[in-house]
Amino acid sequence: MVAGAVAAEPALASAATAIGEAWAHEFVRSLRSQERAVIGAWPGTMREARMRVRAAFTTKLDIQVLDELARVANLAARRGWNEVSEPDLEP
């Protein structure tokens, strides 16, 4: 697989989106179970996104494809987080 494969393979982008959505849901659920607030910007990192994508795919991914999928997953996670997070009012 080469760069651009994510755009050419909607199934890959769809899978990465699902990974990101699940990641955000898991993070929110964890905070709420600890009775902590969901506040501020998405706390996830690209490194974590790559790790999650790598763990979800059984085939070895080209580094460029991995990075693209990680970006898709991270954006999906950020969207999910932003749907439920409250603004951080502290400076």
Write down the pTM of the prediction.
Answer: 0.86
Question: How many whole angstroms separate alpha carbon 38 and alpha carbon 87?
Answer: 9
Overall number of domains in the chain: 1
pLDDT in tens, 9-22: 888 999 999 999 99
Question: How many whole angstroms separate alpha carbon 91 and alpha carbon 84?
Answer: 20
* SS3 state at 39: strand
| Reported confidence tier of residue 90, pLDDT bands at 50, 70, 90 | confident
31 is a domain residue = yes
64 is a domain residue = yes
Question: How many whole angstroms separate alpha carbon 73 and alpha carbon 60?
Answer: 17
26 is a domain residue = yes
pLDDT in tens, 47-89: 999 999 999 998 889 999 999 999 999 999 999 999 999 988 8
* SS3 state at 86: strand
**HSE on the CB side for 11, CA within 13 Å?**
1
